[in-house]
Amino acid sequence: MSLAAYPRIADWITAQDGLLLVRTGKVDIGQRISTALIQIAHEELGVPFNRIDIATVRTDKAPDEGMTSGSNSIEQSGKAVQCAAATLRATLRKRLASKYGGAPEEWALADGAIFLPGTNHRFPVIELIENLGKDDLVDPAALPVARPYQSPPRPRMRGIAEMVRGGHAFIHDLDVPGMWHARVVRPPHVHARLNGVPETARARLAAKGLHLIEDGSFLAVVGPNEWPVVDQAQKLAIACDWDVGKGLPETDVFTLLNASKSARFHAPKAAPTKGPIPEPLVLPDHTARYERTYQLHGSLGPSAAMAQWSDGVLTLKSHSQGIYPLRESIADSLGLALEKVIIEHMPGSGCYGHTGADDAAFEAALVAMAHPDRPILLKWSREDEHMWEPFAPAMAVELAAKTSGRSITAFSAEVFSDTHRGRPRPGPKRAGPGKLLANRFRETPIGPTPAAPNMGVHAGMHRNLDPVYAIENKRLVKNLVPDLPHRTSAMRCLGAAVNIFAIESFMDTIARKSGADPIAFRLSHLDDDRARNVLLTLQDQLSHWPDLTEATGRGVAFAQYKNAMTRVAVAIELTVNDMAEIQLHRAAIVADAGRIVDAEGLTAQLEGGLVQAASWALHEEVKWDRDGIQTRDWDSYPVIRFDNIPKVSVTLQDQPDEKSLGAGEASPGPTLGAIGNAVFDAVGLRLTRLPFTAASIRQAAYH
């Protein structure tokens, strides 16, 4: 897809001033895509790492690759860069061979040079590339270079040396002459509107040399120094007179997650259709319902953006994962021509999906347009991010199965959820602007945009709803539930986290009830050899783990992300202590991500996904009441910390001749399943609602 829109080599790789510049529309959000792209160019062209760089991702310069999400970067951008580099290699070899002799394959590339061994024909690769035609096309069939060695590459992570010295520039660190700081003054909750700003509060701001931006109920404080802006914005939020209306709805979200008002779709092979919904299974042998409450992305560094409005052009810096759709939505919101809005990506804190990044960019734009020619750096507070980021939706999954002996003969899954697509994407009825938070509060409000069902394959809530197991008769249904309490959007794995948790808990239950070993039971439902190898490798590792002690349990789970990407098996060992708290001891991950580009980066993604999922499983829960969101910081919204990190081992099954597969979201689903299964193994309780807090474990024990 990336290559089809950008077919020229120069769209992906250029050479300039002795450097090879890799161009991409994908942004590095801590997933090490830039390290992987550099590794690919290095392997194909033999250019040393320190002579390869990644071009800044900017809407007016880089290829538009849409969103950086869904673990697609390596399969889209990675594939494009690999083909472009492989085409370059073939072109250089062919030209030099016809000029100086030798067969094209005899020409070798290493240390930045291309040479014919045994002769003194040796040329610098970068210079040759500089002199190639600018319109040469990428050969989409160009094969990656054969790997001369066994072990997959482990390139040094781009940026790490700066990170440990505090020198890696995040968007929060921007500091340019004349810059002012801005902070939004938030209402108590999303339904509150401004009655007025008291005169005393205005006077206090003026006395401090600060300005107030007002557009309906959208308020922001702006001024030259950061701390007074931060301090006064917080005070002003309390001083303002807000009409709080009826407040937030307090209904239990899990009772709302049902089919009565939902848009329902039959989704065979996780591809929604408009066809009739098949009848439920008659007299199933097993049924269960699994749930997860609203959770946060909870970036460590709150969202931020820089904006400047000069000569009719709005220039933004943002850590959004989708700077192209964001640009369209901002241009539409402000009535600007598209080319009058330029967005450049800059690193933010790790995001794991759609956070406040896009909203912050638009808010910075609103402030900047009120103060022409002045660079504005707008940052969200911790409380802003906790209360106002779009949450991962609350979900429910209802499963049913018929079995015969030790095999599943029929299976049904129904998923219930709000949308996972809250990103500001342009669409009918100003859908893009309607998804930018500030637009709801402006004088002329826009939005919220009602959710439209995502009909993509393995998209949204139905990602991994289809078990990867060989079961003949499957009934898969998605339910988009309207009118739920909170704004929601994409978080790492989308529906796959909860769907895999549900399926893998269910597999465990059925295996145990039919007297089968959980791994053997899964193997008996798997045809795919690569999947089986992953599970068999895990099984072998587990046989070396020491015997279990009291109240300790082990659980395993398996999934293949989107039934097409990385295959991952996870084992977890944990204890449930006397306080009903879960203590994680050890974890093993076995993964097959195809041809490995960056083994260290891949390992880090798999480990990081396991830790994040452990945090979801043990702690994470958004709470609210009529007066607003009550989880506003890391005390009221606890997350995993260093005192409960298991020892993790990661085993990679390299497949040098297969294509490279996305892995950023492959481990969380199986981790959730493995933790639930380990809790059952430890104390005999089947927990079906995430998170598994001590209170919920105690409650399950009483029932």
Partner 1 sequence: MGARHLVTLTLNVNGEMRRVTSDPDTPLVYVLRDEFKLKGTKLGCGLEQCGACAVLVEGAPVLSCVSPVSAFEGKSITTIEGIDANDTGSRVQAAFVTYSAAQCGYCTAGLVVAATALLDDNPSPNRVDIAQALTPHLCRCGSHPRVFRAVKAAAKS
Q: What does 616-657 look like in DSSP terms, one character per residue?
A: HHHT----EETTEE---STTTS----GGGPPEEEEEE---TT
169 binds, among partner 1, ligand FES, none (CB under 5 to 8 A by kind): partner 1
230 binds, among partner 1, ligand FES, none (CB under 5 to 8 A by kind): partner 1
The nearest distance, CB 76 to ligand FES, in angstroms, is: 23
C-alpha span between 516 and 499 (Å, rounded): 22
Decide if residue 638 touches ligand FES (CB under 6 A): no
The nearest distance, CB 301 to ligand FES, in angstroms, is: 8
What phi, psi does 417 have (nearest 5°)?
-165, 160
Instruction: List residues bridging with 474 in a β-sheet.
Output: 411
Decide if residue 279 touches partner 1 (CB under 8 A): no
Q: Name the residue among 552, 516, 549 with its Cα closest to residue 682.
A: 552
Per-residue burial over 588-617, b if 16 or more Cβ lie within 10 Å, else e, is bbbbbbbbbbbbbbbbbbbbbbbbbbbbbb
Decide if residue 161 touches ligand FES (CB under 6 A): no
Nearer to partner 1, 7 or 159 (CB): 159
> What is the side-by-side strand order in the sheet with 313-318?
211-215, 218-223, 180-185, 376-379, 304-310, 313-318, 341-345
Decide if residue 581 touches partner 1 (CB under 8 A): no
Say which amino acid occupies 71. Answer: S
Which pair of structure tokens corresponds to residue 7? Answer: 């077919």
Helix (H, G, I), strand (E, B) or coil at 401: strand
C-alpha span between 432 and 449 (Å, rounded): 8
Degrees, nearest 5: CA angle 456-451-614: 70
Decide if residue 169 touches partner 1 (CB under 8 A): yes
Q: How far is CA 256 from CA 205, 252, 262, 600, in A?
A: 44, 7, 10, 43
Q: How many residues bind partner 1 (CB under 8 A)?
A: 61
Nearer to ligand FES, 168 or 204 (CB): 168
Degrees, nearest 5: CA angle 478-480-485: 140
C-alpha span between 509 and 514 (Å, rounded): 9
Nearer to partner 1, 165 or 246 (CB): 165
For partner 1, which residue of 148, 166, 276, 428 counts as binding (CB under 8 A)?
A: 166
E-strand stretches of 267-383: 286-292, 304-310, 313-318, 341-345, 376-379
What's the 3-state SS for 262-281? Answer: CEEEECHHHCCECCCCCCCC
Please report the sign of the dihedral spanned by the C-alpha atoms of residue 165, residue 171, residue 172, residue 177. Answer: positive
Query: Segment contacting partner 1 (CB under 8 A): 60-68, 165-173, 334-342, 438-446?
Result: 165-173
Q: How many residues bind ligand FES (CB under 6 A)?
A: 3
Decide if residue 169 touches ligand FES (CB under 6 A): no
Query: Segment contacting partner 1 (CB under 8 A): 220-228, 525-533, 547-555, 558-566?
Result: 220-228
Nearer to partner 1, 437 or 611 (CB): 611
Decide if residue 295 touches partner 1 (CB under 8 A): no
For partner 1, which residue of 202, 269, 647, 698 counts as binding (CB under 8 A)?
A: 647
> Which residues in 16-75 contact ligand FES (CB under 6 A)?
30
Decide if residue 348 touches ligand FES (CB under 6 A): no
For partner 1, which residue of 30, 188, 216, 278 counts as binding (CB under 8 A)?
A: 30
Query: Segment contacting partner 1 (CB under 8 A): 431-439, 465-473, 575-583, 636-644?
Result: 636-644
C-alpha span between 579 and 592 (Å, rounded): 38
The nearest distance, CB 637 to partner 1, in angstroms, is: 10
C-alpha span between 65 and 77 (Å, rounded): 8
Nearer to partner 1, 271 or 604 (CB): 604
Decide if residue 160 touches ligand FES (CB under 6 A): no
Cis peptide before 448 (omega within 30 of 0): yes
The nearest distance, CB 108 to ligand FES, in angstroms, is: 38
Query: Segment contacting partner 1 (CB under 8 A): 28-36, 275-283, 454-462, 475-483?
Result: 28-36
Nearer to ligand FES, 169 or 695 (CB): 169
For partner 1, which residue of 64, 175, 483, 540 counts as binding (CB under 8 A)?
A: 175
The nearest distance, CB 646 to partner 1, in angstroms, is: 8
C-alpha span between 465 and 493 (Å, rounded): 12
The nearest distance, CB 300 to ligand FES, in angstroms, is: 4
Decide if residue 153 touches partner 1 (CB under 8 A): no
C-alpha span between 551 and 645 (Å, rounded): 18
Q: Which residues bind partner 1 (CB under 8 A)?
A: 29-32, 156-157, 159-161, 163-170, 172-173, 175, 204, 207-209, 225-228, 230, 298-302, 347-350, 352, 381-382, 600-601, 604, 607-612, 615, 633-635, 639, 641-643, 645, 647-648
Q: Which residues bind ligand FES (CB under 6 A)?
A: 30, 300, 350
